[in-house]
Amino acid sequence: MNETVYITGHKNPDTDSICSSIAYAELKKRLGVKAVPVRIGCINKETAFVLDYLGVKEPEYLKTVKTQVSDLDLDVVPPVSEDISIKTAWNIMQKNNKQVLPVTDDEGKLLGIVSLSDITNSYMVSQGNSILSTSHTPLRNVTETLNAKLVCGNMDDVFQSAGKVVIATMAPDSLEPFVEKNDIVLVGNRKDTQMKVLKAGVSCMIATCGGRIDKDVLELATQKNCVVMETNHDTFTAARLINQSIPVSYVMTRKNLICFNVHDFIDSIRDKMLQTRFRSYPIIDDDGLIKGFVHRYHLISPRKKKVILLDHNEKTQTVDGIDQAEILEIVDHHRIGDIQTNSPIYFRNDTVGSTATLIASMYVENGIRPMKEIAGLLCAAILSDTLNLKSPTTTYLDRETVAQLSEIAGLDADDFAAKMFQAGASVDDMTPEQILYSDFKEYNFGRHKIGIGQINAGDPKSVKSLKESLLEHMNQVQKDKGYSLLLLMMTDIVRESSHLLYAGDGEDLIQEAFGAEPKDGEVYLKGVVSRKKQVVPLLTNVVQGA
């Protein structure tokens, strides 16, 4: 089965996270994998500029990878129309070994379900001898059920004003008390009986036992507007079968129908199934179209979503519901985190400046040349993560990869980086929440839960003008989400420095880690531009030594 593989970066994704996901998904597709790049957060200004510049579509948003109904191997049962006979429905069930059938309209929208018990109940419980009229049974159903030939009447008509079903076994002169106008009468081959019931104004006459209708009888039937059929079944068999021609719409379950949506989570439908305990439940999509049935045994071993994680390997940074998904690969350039897998996976982690550098290497290793747009995305990701190759995280491989990718993409790396950073540097029109979560990661350092955001803010004046509102928002987030310390790096790429805003009781931690004295919720860090290389390791050392 060629299942979809979702490729995603971390929450609050940066340019590397988004671009690497798109590029790796493209590589996987070219290797025969049904891969889809997704994002688990909003893209920032810098990333939006890159995608727009290169003409690449933004990945779809994926809220969670929890197991949904759509992940199950549903029991797919072809739907039936509401006007088919219960005999036909029964035959379909027996042929396909099913105990329930979905009933839909012409567009495939679910109208109800007909089960084996619905059919047996309708057949065993006395429905009276006027059931064909009550259920508006189509003539077509009767001819199919009795294997009859329609010799007078319209096959598309239905019994609407028909009376009761009568077997005319008595002498013609004795019919009058039993046969009334609009009745449906089963007769033999006696011509006098046939003429008598027609004169009584019956709505339908069925000749059994292979009886044939003479020309003059047929002429009278036409004058009387009476439906006439011929069947080879004997009278007893015809009388037994005729009620099986009623449409399934008459017996199907349509009220208080419990059905689930393909997007429902397994956790929620499991509780509902335990409360109701039906044999199976219909599944529909957002348009009401039937997709199949779910049984209890489907929940025993559901098919998990398959995921590849890029640019992170920590649980707090990954997509919601990861415990219910199957992680196939992790490609990252950060510290080893706390994500666990049930079986061995492909894990690639190296000390390079960007995940995109690793992805570009994998193109080379597979003998595949990236397309112009993909090369541009990978180049942009490396330039972004290494601050145009100026970050202390930059390696020789990063520089060589940028040189190769920029040539394929037709980019001037320095000029493109300047435009990219300029597009992402303005924070004047951003809310404090947007600034904090522009590129945000959460870390667990022992008992300390620390959140660190980073944004390229080239103008120092912007930092001062937004400081008060940012600190107010950060203090609220720190309290609401229980962070020991909340940090925001507002990095000036040109001056190779960062203004570090903080919220929480971590002044001593900051002073010990960076050797600078914080004041009024802020500390200026000259030469600090990398969260991964210059902030996280120092915090880790201080926390572990505490």
- Strand pairing of 448-456 and 306-310? unpaired
Question: Mean pLDDT score of the chain, rounded to an integer?
Answer: 90
Residue range 197-236, pLDDT digits in tens? 999 999 999 999 998 899 999 999 999 999 999 999 999 9
Mean pLDDT over 94-100 rounds to 92
> Strand (E) positions, 343-430?
346-349
Residues of the chain with pLDDT > 70, as a percent, come to: 97
Per-residue confidence at 134, pLDDT binned at 50, 70, 90?
confident
CB environment 5-30: b (16+ within 10 A), e (fewer): bbbbbbbbbbbbbbbbbbbbbbbbee
Please name which of 142, 156, 89 lies closest in space to residue 117, comparing C-alpha atoms. Answer: 89
Q: What is the pLDDT of residue 110?
A: 94
Whose tokens are 């309290």? That residue is: 479
Asked if pLDDT for residue 420 goes beyond 70, the answer is yes
Per-residue confidence at 496, pLDDT binned at 50, 70, 90?
confident
Residues of the chain with pLDDT > 90, as a percent, come to: 60
Which structure tokens are listed for 260? 């689930």
Tell me the residue type at 307: V
Question: Strand, helix or coil at 349?
Answer: strand
Q: What is the pLDDT of residue 325?
A: 94
Per-residue confidence at 289, pLDDT binned at 50, 70, 90?
very high
Please name which of 115, 47, 54 lies closest in space to residue 80, comparing C-alpha atoms. Answer: 115
More confident residue, 316 or 546: 316
Contact between 410 and 29 (Cβ < 8 Å): no
Residue range 422-453, pLDDT digits in tens? 888 777 778 899 889 888 988 887 778 899 99
Residue range 351-395, pLDDT digits in tens? 999 999 999 999 999 999 999 999 999 999 999 999 999 999 999
Mean pLDDT over 459-476 rounds to 81
Domain ranges of the chain: 5-67+304-424, 71-124+250-299, 131-245, 432-545
Q: Is 432-545 in the same CATH topology as 5-67+304-424?
A: no
More confident residue, 62 or 273: 62
Residue range 2-53, pLDDT digits in tens? 689 999 999 999 999 999 999 999 999 999 999 999 999 999 999 999 999 9
Strand ranges of the sheet holding 110-115, from the earlier edge strand across to the other edge: 80-81, 100-104, 110-115
Q: Which residues contact 382 (CB under 8 A, 6 or more apart)?
A: 16, 353, 354, 356, 357, 360, 389, 398, 401, 402, 405
- Cα dist. 143→7, 116, 127, 431 in Å? 57, 23, 20, 72
CATH superfamily of 432-545: DHHA2 domain (3.10.310.20)
Tell me the residue type at 370: P
Distance in angstroms (rounded) separating the CA atoms of residues 316 and 283 = 33
Which class is 71-124+250-299 in CATH?
alpha beta
Per-residue confidence at 456, pLDDT binned at 50, 70, 90?
confident
> What fold characterizes domain 131-245?
3.40.1390
Distance in angstroms (rounded) separating the CA atoms of residues 82 and 221 = 30
Residue range 67-84, pLDDT digits in tens? 999 888 889 999 999 999
Which structure tokens are listed for 475? 């203090």
CATH ID of 5-67+304-424, from 3.90.1640.10, 1.10.3720.10, 3.30.2090.10, 3.40.50.2000: 3.90.1640.10
Whether this prediction's pTM lies above 0.75 is answered by no
Whose tokens are 């940090």? That residue is: 487
Question: Strand, helix or coil at 47?
Answer: helix
First to last CA, the chain: 51
Alpha helices, DSSP H only, in 43-181? 45-54, 86-96, 116-124, 131-134, 139-146
Q: What is the pLDDT of residue 1?
A: 47
Q: What is the pLDDT of residue 415?
A: 96
Mean pLDDT over 121-133 rounds to 71
